């Protein structure tokens, strides 16, 4: 056991001493922050959009729409009566990027609910949604007035709805908004994916280094290959825990300092899709349990990949199947976010190769029965033992092999006979 | 010289790899305190044998005994120093850290390893490099660090696989000095080589293997006596007389390399050098040199191993 400890300590000390580690400690949060915030920024389109409302109505509908567009923060709208070659000149304005787009409103809109928007970026999610909401409200008001409702009553009836969603877990409402749950799940998914991949590849290159420098021969004459592999995995795992601690403490300090000005300012200004979630102890425990589980599972595979390769290039190629397993679990996260209790989501959170990402994501996105978590963890633990056993056999043969990379048939023989 | 219980024995050890036999029923015995040479051409199975001794590979059959126990090198790693044929160190680690790490893996106390590393680095003139990274060192210096890592924990048995390959003359000397110093201090050294001159200078005992099988083993002097044959060198002073006829007599000479003014002869079985001398004088040859020589290890080796020694037995591969 002492020898395993010596290996763990070397892996840990050498890594923590490296510039790479401290770069990650600093740049990591920036990276995650960017991944986290970028989609919102991109979806929001950044800044105010100049648009023109082409008013083909006889009544006040066009004016109303223009006013309420200008009341929001997304658009700066100008009303232009329809006529002549107005559409052509507006089109060329859009092409010259002087305008984001223009909205065509006709009287028919009141009956059909249809309006037309032509713009350079029609697919902008936030743009279209805001336009729909504004036009919809104006049309509703117009219809009500047409039916004889007092315009003042209509105005008074137009109360903006803000749905307060609370997640129920363990029989109590947690006081988290849907937005918070979503962003927590999204955030955890990204960190889990990145960290498992990153540290798994760390284990791989460490194995490869010992193999290519041939120092492994001296090592395995002093301790068993399995001890060496375990020491390596545990050492890199310890580095990852330290990295998380640094990030966690850093985030805590930052959030604590930011909390007061944030509360004072308009809470709305924090974007509505991504919100800083409340992270409970249970969530942290789930996160760490599945991170470590996933890390052990995948790093055993990465260790085997390192052992069966002779050069960096070979390893880069050979690690692709393993990395793809991880990518697949990551991508399926988006399906799970929509419906955390779908059959797909439940299956993915039980299958050991995907559960390290799927289960924490589901946990953050919705409530999960305790037995499911227990079952998923048991399956994961058993798989870790099985995969490590196989990986260790490949590792044992592979680290002393030079030359050609083994094919699947040879690998199976290594596992059977090692 | 031979102690009652050998330090290391191999008892009919075999190792097969997919398709060929690397080592076949090899038995040998290394007494304590000797310098033991494991000789053979490339591909003879030397490295495989050493790896089995070191527990890096498991024999398919046979037993390795170390320090009178039926267990391989890993169990005794604190008493064994091992220098593999292909060498390397962690490139990004500091010299002293590498040395301490490897010594700790052999079971040495951390602080002691640190002190000992300092002493060795000083002895080999590397003190100012102790906290430099390995990849900042020249190749020669890296080799020195590797020697240190082999002997830092003061092992009783040192196993060196082709220790002189790739060394510059200065480091070859350093290596020899280290080996001889260990020998003086009563340590046992097992080393493999295919360079016979080195073996001849360093070994007390040796074993020659080829194609995974043992050809001969024993002390250097015994082997020379039994396998040396009778080797005769004859030099002529201008007149060779009827020497050629004498050399052609199969009853006296089994093999000859005749260079005209100089010839190397192999005596035929049962022939006496004195008979040849008489025959030469009678034939009218004027001799400037007549010398009965002990065969060099190199020659014994070539005679035993034969020209096709590096060929390995390849059996059809079974899927």
Chain-chain contact of B90 with A409 (C-beta, under 8 angstroms): no
Task: Give the pLDDT confidence score for residue B312 in this predicted structure.
Answer: 44
- Segment A307-315 shows an average pLDDT of 87
> Model confidence over A92-117: pLDDT tens digits?
888 887 788 888 888 887 777 778 88
The backbone region for A175, taken as left when phi is positive above 0, alpha when psi lies in -120 to 50, beta otherwise, is left
Q: Please, what is the end-to-end C-alpha distance for chain A in angstroms?
A: 22
Average pLDDT over residues A304-314: 88
Give the pLDDT score at A349.
Answer: 87
**How far apart are the C-alpha atoms of B187 and A256, rounded to whole Å?**
65
CA atoms of B137 and B130, how far apart (whole Å): 10
Q: What is the pLDDT of residue A11?
A: 92
Neighbour count for residue A331 (Cβ, 10 Å): 12
Q: How far apart are CA B192 and CA B5, in angstroms?
A: 22
The pLDDT of residue A270 is 40
Look at residue A257 in the predicted model and tell me its pLDDT: 63
Write out pLDDT tens, residues B118-148: 999 999 989 999 999 999 999 889 989 999 9
> What is the per-residue pLDDT for B315?
41
- State mean pLDDT over B211-215: 87
| B148 phi/psi in degrees, rounded to 5 | -55, -45
Assign B314 a pLDDT band (cuts: 50, 70, 90). very low
Please indicate whether, in this complex, the C-beta atoms of B105 and A222 are within 8 angstroms of each other.
yes
Q: Which of A177-181, A388-392, B177-181 has the lowest mean pLDDT?
A: A177-181
pLDDT at A140 over 60: yes
Residue B318 has pLDDT above 60, yes or no: no
Contact A400 B102 (CB under 8 A): no
Query: Which of chain A's residues have a Cβ under 8 Å away from the Cβ of B80?
Result: 221
Tokens coding A100: 């984001």
Give the range among A166-170, A341-345, B15-19, B258-262 with minimum mean pLDDT: A166-170
From B95, B106, B166, select the one nearest B137 (Cα to Cα). Answer: B95
How much of chain A exceeds pLDDT 70, in percent? 83
Task: Give just the sign of the alpha carbon dihedral A229, A234, A235, A241.
Answer: positive
- Which among A210, A212, A214 has the least Cβ separation from residue B84? A214
* Nearest-CA distance B104 → chain A (Å): 7
Tell me if A223 and B105 make a contact (CB, 8 A cut-off). Answer: yes
pLDDT at A122 over 60: no
Could you give the CA distance from residue B167 to residue B143 in angstroms, rounded to a whole number? 8
In DSSP notation, A154-186 reads HHHH-PPP------EETTEE----HHHHHHHHH
Structure ipTM: 0.78
pLDDT of residue B264: 85
Query: In the structure, what pLDDT confidence band is assigned to residue B225 with cuts at 50, 70 and 90?
Result: confident
pLDDT computed for residue B110 by the predictor: 93
A235 and A10 Cβ atoms separated by less than 8 Å: yes
Strand order in the sheet with B20-30: B20-30, B8-17, B61-66
Looking up tokens 């978590």, which residue turns up? Answer: A373
Task: Note whether A214 contacts B77, CB cutoff 8 Å.
Answer: no
- What backbone phi and psi angles, to 5 degrees, belong to B156? -80, -30
Task: Give the one of A2, A7, A215 whose C-beta lies nearest to B88's C-beta.
Answer: A215
Residue B290 has pLDDT above 90, yes or no: no
List residues bridging with B234 in a β-sheet: B263, B290
Q: How far apart are CA A104 and CA A124, in angstroms?
A: 18
Are A309 and A214 within 8 A, CB to CB?
A: no
Average pLDDT over chain A reads: 80
What distance lies between CA A300 and its chain's CA centroid? Answer: 25
Question: d(Cα A343, Cα A299) in Å, to the nearest integer?
Answer: 28
Hey, what are B214's tokens?
């043992």
Rounded to the nearest integer, the mean pLDDT of chain B is 86
Handedness of CA A386, A392, A397, A401 (dihedral sign): positive
What percent of chain B is predicted at pLDDT more than 90? 35
Report the alpha-carbon distance of residue B95 to residue B108 in Å, rounded: 17
Write out the residues of chain B at the interface with chain A, using a CB-CB cutoff of 8 A.
Answer: 51, 54-57, 73-74, 77, 80, 82, 84, 86-93, 97, 101-102, 104-107, 149, 319
Q: Is the pLDDT of residue A188 over 90?
A: no
User: In this structure, are residues A391 and A220 in contact, taking their beta carbons and an 8 Å threshold?
Assistant: no
For residue B149, list chain A residues with Cβ-Cβ distance below 8 A.
218
Nearest to A207 by CA among A245, A172, A236, A238: A236
Predicted confidence (pLDDT) at residue A269 exceeds the cutoff of 60: no
Question: What DSSP string describes A53-109?
Answer: EEEE-SSSHHHHHHHHHHHSSSEEEEEEE--TTHHHHHHHHHHTTS-SEEEEEETHH
The continuous run of DSSP H or E covering A279 comes out as none
Residue A44 has pLDDT above 60, yes or no: no
Contact (CB<8Å) A219/B105: yes
Residues on chain A touching B101 (C-beta within 8 angstroms): 6, 10
Least confidently predicted of A90-104, B39-53, B195-209, B304-318: B304-318
pLDDT at A204: 93
């Amino acid at each position: 056991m002492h020898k395993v400890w010596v290996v763990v300590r070397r892996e840990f000390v050498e890594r923590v001493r490296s510039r790479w580690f401290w770069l990650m400690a600093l740049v990591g949060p920036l990276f995650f922050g960017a991944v986290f915030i970028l989609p919102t920024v991109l979806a929001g389109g950044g800044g105010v959009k100049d648009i023109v409302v082409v008013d083909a109505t006889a009544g006040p509908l066009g004016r109303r729409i223009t006013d309420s567009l200008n009341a929001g923060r997304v658009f700066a709208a100008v009303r232009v009566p329809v006529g002549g070659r107005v559409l052509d000149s507006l089109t060329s304005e859009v092409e010259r990027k002087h305008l984001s787009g223009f909205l065509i409103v006709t009287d028919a809109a009141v009956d059909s609910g249809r309006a037309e928007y032509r713009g350079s970026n029609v697919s902008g999610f936030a743009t279209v949604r805001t336009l729909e909401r504004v036009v919809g409200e104006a049309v509703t008001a117009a219809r009500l007035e047409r039916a004889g409702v007092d315009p003042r009553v209509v105005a008074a009836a137009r109360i903006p709805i803000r749905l307060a969603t609370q997640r129920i877990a363990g029989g109590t409402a947690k006081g988290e908004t849907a937005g918070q749950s979503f962003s927590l799940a999204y955030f955890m998914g990204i960190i889990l994916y990145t960290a498992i991949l990153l540290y798994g590849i760390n284990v791989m290159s460490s194995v490869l280094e010992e193999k290519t420098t041939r120092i492994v021969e001296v090592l395995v004459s002093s301790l068993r290959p399995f001890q060496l592999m375990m020491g390596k995995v545990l050492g890199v795992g310890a580095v990852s825990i330290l990295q998380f601690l640094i990030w966690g403490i850093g985030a805590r300090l930052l959030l604590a300092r930011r909390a007061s000005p944030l509360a004072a300012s308009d809470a709305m200004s924090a974007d509505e899709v991504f919100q800083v979630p409340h992270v409970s102890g249970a969530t942290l425990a789930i996160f760490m349990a599945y991170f470590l589980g996933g890390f052990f599972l995948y790093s055993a595979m990465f260790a085997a990949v390192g052992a069966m390769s002779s050069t960096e290039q070979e390893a880069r190629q050979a690690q692709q199947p393993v990395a793809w397993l991880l990518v697949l679990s990551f991508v399926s996260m988006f399906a799970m976010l929509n419906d955390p209790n779908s059959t797909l989501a439940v299956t993915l959170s039980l299958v050991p190769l995907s559960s390290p990402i799927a289960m924490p994501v589901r946990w953050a996105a919705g409530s999960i029965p305790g037995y499911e978590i227990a079952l998923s963890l048991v399956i994961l633990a058993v798989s870790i033992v099985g995969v490590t056993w196989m990986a260790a056999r490949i590792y044992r043969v592979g680290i002393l092999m030079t030359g050609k990379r083994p094919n699947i048939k040879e690998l199976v023989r290594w596992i059977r006979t090692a | 010289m031979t102690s009652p219980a050998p330090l290391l024995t191999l008892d009919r050890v075999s190792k097969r790899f997919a398709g060929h036999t690397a080592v076949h029923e090899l038995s040998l015995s290394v007494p304590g305190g000797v310098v033991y040479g494991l000789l053979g051409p490339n591909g003879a199975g030397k490295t495989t044998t050493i790896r089995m001794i070191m527990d890096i590979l498991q024999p398919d059959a046979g037993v390795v005994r170390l320090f009178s126990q039926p267990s391989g090198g890993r169990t005794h790693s604190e008493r064994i120093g091992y220098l593999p044929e292909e060498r390397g160190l962690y490139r990004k680690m500091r010299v002293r850290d590498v040395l301490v790490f490897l010594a700790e893996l052999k079971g040495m106390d951390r602080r002691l390893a640190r002190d000992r590393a300092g002493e060795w680095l000083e002895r080999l003139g590397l003190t100012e490099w102790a906290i430099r990274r390995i990849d900042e060192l020249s190749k020669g210096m890296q080799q020195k660090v590797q020697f240190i890592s082999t002997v830092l924990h003061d092992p009783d048995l040192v196993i060196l696989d082709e220790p002189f390959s790739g060394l510059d003359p200065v480091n070859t000397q350093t290596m020899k000095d280290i080996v001889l110093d260990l020998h003086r201090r009563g340590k046992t050294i097992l080393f493999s080589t295919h360079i016979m001159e080195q073996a001849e200078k360093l070994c007390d005992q040796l074993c020659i293997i080829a194609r995974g099988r043992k050809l001969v083993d024993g002390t250097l002097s015994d082997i020379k006596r039994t396998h040396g044959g009778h080797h005769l060198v004859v030099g002529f002073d201008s007149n060779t007389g009827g020497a050629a006829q004498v050399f052609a007599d199969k009853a006296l000479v089994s093999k000859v390399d005749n260079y005209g003014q100089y010839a190397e002869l192999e005596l035929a079985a049962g022939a006496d050098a004195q008979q040849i001398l008489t025959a030469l004088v009678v034939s009218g040859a004027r001799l400037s040199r007549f010398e009965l020589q002990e065969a060099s290890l190199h020659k014994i080796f070539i005679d035993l191993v034969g020209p096709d020694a590096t060929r390995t037995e390849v059996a059809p591969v079974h899927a």
